[in-house]
Amino acid sequence: MYSYYHKAYATAPKGSAVENLVVAYDSMLEILQHISEYYEKNIKGKEDQIILLFNDDGYKQYIAYLDKLLKIVNALQNSLVNRDNNYREEYEAMLNIYRNATNMILSLRYNNKQENMQIIERLIAHFTDLRDYIITL
């Protein structure tokens, strides 16, 4: 499924790129766990009353976690810009993954819909799969 990782990172100094990705994915999964827990406890089922949460410190932390997650994904995306053209197709596939993740995070950040819990679960599953795959390289 993620075979482009192997080619995309084959030219990287041994260890560094893969280790950095694992650290990034671990950070994202930890952040997503906090986001999921807060959403489950405080927002799920109350999406239409979200305005009441704006002054809540927990909600401010939830937004801060989303912003932090977005920064990590953007850093990963930026790290792929201007890479070796021999692997353009692989890099494009990875960039699309990061762009999709960015769109999902922005959706969580700015839209309060009942589907948000599903988006959080998809992000967790997605980055868990990526992390598990990258460890095998």
Whether the per-residue pLDDT at 7 is higher than 60: the answer is no
Q: What value does the mean pLDDT take over residues 47-71?
A: 79
Cβ(30)–Cβ(68) below 8 Å: no
Mean pLDDT across the stretch 58-73? 88
> Full-prediction pTM beyond 0.85?
no
* Mean model confidence pLDDT for the chain: 77
- Per residue in 105-136, pLDDT tens? 988 888 777 788 899 999 998 888 877 777 76
**So what's the pLDDT on residue 79?**
74
Query: Could you give all domains of the chain from N- to C-terminal order, each with its CATH number?
Result: 4-135 (1.20.120.340)
